[in-house]
Amino acid sequence: MTETKNPFIESTEKYPFDAIPFDKISKEHYIPAIERGIKITKERIETIKNNPAEPDFNNVILAMDSSNEELTDVTKTYFNLYSSESDPEFKEMAQTISPMLSELSSYINMNTELFAKVKAVFDKKDQLNLSKEEARLLEITYKGFVRNGALLSDDDKEKLKKIDMELSTLGPKFSSNLLNSTNSYELLITDRDELKGLPENAIDAAAFRARNKGKEGYLFTLQIPVIIPVLTYAENRELRKTINQKFSSRAFRDDFDNQQLLKKIATLRHQRAQLLGFKTHAEYVLKERMAENPDTVMSFLDRIFEVAYPAAKNELNEIKQLAKELDGLDEIYPWDSAYYTEKLKQKKYSFDEEKLRPYFKMEYVVSGIFKVAEKLYGLHFEEINDVPVYHKDVMVYKVTEQNDKYVGLLYLDLFPRETKREGAWMTSFRTQGLFKGEVIRPHISIVTNFTPSTDKSPSLLRFSEVETLFHEFGHALHGLLSDCKFSTLASPNVYWDFVELPSQIMENWVKEKESLDLFARHFETNEKLPDDYIQKIKASENFNKGNFNLRQLSLGYLDMAWHNQDPSLVEDVAAFEDEVSEKTRLLPKVEGRNTSCSFAHIFAGGYSSGYYSYKWAEVLEADAFSLFLETGIFNKETASSFRNNLLSKGNSEHPMDLYVKFRGRKPDPDALLRRDGLI
């Protein structure tokens, strides 16, 4: 058998737009390509370090910034597929790859001679006549060294290196455990009577899943599109309880238990922060955020809490009263909450979200996000079939603007499968900016787990799924419209509590008639979404917002609790979480449930000490969208300002400075509470 070329190392057939050759990449290609990329990077670092010329921006900062290009190509591909299309063997490679990358990071960041060169350039920055973007890259490079141990003693550098090596393997392990725990559960129901109340399409989907597994009946898993209809509509309380309990105990006290793992992750982060001179991991992280410190975050969360908690309490009393009226319940539990909340919504607004589904066929919604982007920014999206994909479900679009100017590629991967982690996210295979000597355009990807089609029905999305697609598309626009010289600074590489602004603001267009009229049509009759439905969407917009805010606050508080103290003192994960959650708990405590063990955002993603960012960015987007409402949601001047001052700038300037350029002032801190009808 002849060996195949490694496409990461040897030149192979080029695809349009230099697209990733997924069809030529095999598992065995990654580690050799990463080893080669690390070798090349180290050789370039040694050249920079040993250069006898006087250190300047080009021979130190720019040279460093472009030193790992071959490696980045491989690692971006590997870790993107790790989340979206990987089997256990593929995932296991992370236990080899992550320590290799951690070792390289330590080799660079703790290199005394290299740091001396960076510091020499930084110390004379005012004499170098740098552009604003060059000055920003210099500042970030210098801070990056300091924040990664450059000023530590040799002994402490070695301690930091060991911590980073260990942490590099624990995040992927947490994620793998969560996915395995999620995939390990299936519930087969053979009696259709047990499914009363479930929408017909949810029942059809359950039957379709069962047939695909060679079983008779109705198969339920813990995928989000599966459990939401059950918890929202199933009259069978035991079914709701079973599904809710299983979902809320993933990776907790089962074969894939994450308790010891998350304690280890949090403890190592704390030790790392202390080595670097910070009291806690939260203090370390927030030093480079808009919030700046834990006190600001806690004050921010508390401000929302003092308004949201009493509102949530009142909302829950209404829900309890309805549960008593309808079914004689004296108490409701977590598996009752969504069910009776939906009943109350229907009673107050005559609004059943399931009736919206026929108007949100997946293809129509995708067309809708493109039409909105065209009206706002003059973008055009053309599906192409001449570039490879990593799974048959993935669609690829060429993005252009005026005069057919190429903007980038957009990959859409929308449906769940067992090789994909839960949730929805935007990522990039190529970031905009300098790459191999030229400024390239980005390759952006949106990955979700939406309601798939069945043999009886096309993919019809819930309204919340439509909001999610618009959210992730906002992230995608941030990446696609980046216009920076250096990829390190390019969108969406911005402060973590700023990165959600472009995404969350896009959700607003889903609730506006002018936008919905562009794409919301019945999949069978082609009838537009009726005006009275749109009015009900608007009327119910602030329904249950107290509880929604409280849920987000509970996660923000839990994140800060793990990361703004010494987590090694935590003996019992469940008891610790119960204590933290007491402040925001309205429903009775139920044994066997745990959020921390499945909290991938903070233990396997980039949100540690940053989950508050969702609420923080909601303040920004509520304030920012109010300008669109004043001028018109498709006002070209406002959209152009948002693009030029925010989307295109990446991290080339401080985010508050960029925001002020767009809005003409700093954000109104109460904009979110006012928009949510809480004040």
Catalytic residue ranges = 472
Strand ordering across the sheet containing 443-447: 380-384, 395-401, 405-413, 443-447, 425-430
The DSSP line for 626-672 is HHHHHH-TT-HHHHHHHIIIIITTTTSS-HHHHHHHHHSSPPPTTHH
Strand partners, 425: 447
φ, ψ for residue 34 (rounded to 5)? -70, -40
> Which tokens is 592 given?
């066997």
Q: What CA–CA distances, in Å, run from 221 to 183, 211, 419?
A: 7, 14, 14
Which tokens is 147 given? 């924040």
Residue 590's Cβ-count burial label (10 Å; 0-12, 13-18, 19+) is: middle
Contact 220, 234 (CB under 8 A): no
φ, ψ (nearest 5 deg) of residue 46: -65, -40
CA geometry: angle 483, 485, 491, nearest 5 deg: 45
Q: What is the distance, to the nearest Å, from the Cα of residue 336 to the centroid of all Cα atoms in its chain? A: 28
Q: Under DSSP, is residue 259 helix (H, G, I), strand (E, B) or coil? A: helix
CB 443, CB 409: distance < 8 Å:
yes
* Bridge partners, 406 (sequence order): 400
φ and ψ at residue 647, rounded to 5 degrees: -65, -40
Distance between CA atoms of 638 and 656, rounded to whole angstroms?
18
Give CA–CA dist 288/271, Å, rounded.
19
- Only one residue has tokens 């921010």, namely 300
How do 405-413 and 443-447 pair as beta strands?
Answer: parallel
CA 329, CA 183: separation in Å to the nearest integer? 33
**Residue 2 has what DSSP assignment?**
P
Contact partners, residue 162, CB within 8 Å, separation at least 6: none
With contact defined as beta carbons under 8 Å apart, do 464 and 111 qualify?
A: no
Number of C-beta neighbours around residue 449 at 10 A: 21
Which residue type, as a one-letter code, is found at position 374? E
**Which strand (E) or helix (H) includes residue 350?**
none
Radius of gyration of the chain (CA): 25
**φ/ψ of residue 337, rounded to 5:** -60, -55
Q: From CA 388, how far away is CA 108, in angstroms rounded? A: 34
Q: Where are the alpha helices (DSSP H) in 184-223?
A: 200-212
Please give the angle made by the CA atoms of 427, 433 and 437, to the nearest 5 degrees.
130
CB 138 within 8 A of CB 130: yes
What value, to the nearest 5°, has the Cα angle with vertex 20 and ends 15 and 26?
115
